A = this chain, B = another copy of it.
Amino acid sequence: MRHAVLGTGNAGRTIAARLVSLGHEVVVGTRDPQDTLARTEPDRMGNPPFAEWRTAHPQVGLAAFAEAAAFGEAVVNATAGTTSLVALEAAGAENLAGKVLVDISDPIDISQGPVLNPGNTDSLGEQIQRAFPDLKVVKALNTMNCKVMVDPSRVPGPHNVFICGDDADAKKSVTELLHSFGWPQDSVIDLGDIISARYTEMLAPIWLRILQKLGHTDFNFHIQVAGNEA
């Protein structure tokens, strides 16, 4: 399948590499491919320059947001949550219409505390769905580190991934993608419509606090339920 992965940061790279390893065709979308490839310094998160990363992943394409979105039969939003709406505008509603978009981003401003923007009465997932009504937005994978997203076995024992969205078929296809990443059947919790995206985005601040405490990212949320002992 042809996937567009929007965003050249660590999450986008990790998802793109995993999709390629599963036999998919992948084009990563960025604002300005020439600019992305010209960078020689690590990004502000300390990741190596994209061009350097890509020498190890030659099968991953790179294109402007619109071209990447047009290429993808499905789309992953792995841009920084605070800039996702701008990136998706650049991708273009006409290139997104009718497609499934997995939104793995959290709209969190780390410089502020961390602070979620738009907060607890809205969410990035809902904002994207409202801005692009012909897109089938599925919020998923935004509650764990990207290495765990694509390889849940990094965290032993049962733990969960939440999915939220208005389109049942889109959630089904995303669930299949999650299974292909290694998420077992009973690890996927469907929280309901896209409104519930705000409930999963609200997990980001405590996730960050636990990261600070543990000093590593190999952890995840698990909903322990009586009667579901594992």
List the interface of chain A (C-beta within 8 A of B): 112-113, 115-116, 119-121, 154-159, 162, 189-192, 196, 198-200, 202-203, 205-206, 209-210, 212-214, 216, 218-227, 229-230
Query: Contacting A157 at CB < 8 Å: which of B120, B206, B230?
Result: B230
- 6 closest residue pairs by CB, A with B: A218-B226, A199-B206, A202-B202, A159-B224, A222-B222, A219-B225
Q: Given A202-B120, A203-B203, A213–B226 Cβ distance below 8 Å?
A: no
> Of the candidates B116, B158, B200, B226, which one forms a contact with A154 in the assembled complex, judged by CB atoms under 8 Å apart?
B226
Docked complex Cα distance between A196 and B211 (Å): 13
- Which B residues are in CB contact (< 8 Å) with A154? 226
Decide: A210 and B191 in contact? CB cutoff 8 A.
Answer: yes
State the number of copies, please: 2
- Give chain B residues whose Cβ lies under 8 Å from the Cβ of A196: 206, 209
Question: If the complex has contacts A120-B119, A121-B113, A219-B224, are A209 and B199 also in contact, measured as CB distance less than 8 A?
Answer: yes
Q: Please state if B222 and A223 are interface contacts (CB–CB under 8 Å).
A: yes
Distance to closest chain B CB from A203 (angstroms): 7
Of B198, B209, B219, which one neighbours A226 at CB under 8 angstroms?
Answer: B219
Query: Within 8 Å CB of A157, what residues of B?
Result: 224, 229-230
Contact between A219 and B229 (Cβ–Cβ < 8 Å)? no
Closest Cβ–Cβ distance, residue A224 to chain B (whole Å): 4
Chain B, Cβ-Cβ closest to A230: B157
Q: Which residues of B contact A212 (CB under 8 A)?
A: 192
**CA A79 to CA B157, docked complex, whole Å:** 36
CB of A219 within 8 A of CB of B223, answer yes
A210 and B223 in contact (CB under 8 A), knowing A120-B120, A121-B115?
yes
Least CB distance, A228 to chain B, in whole angstroms: 8
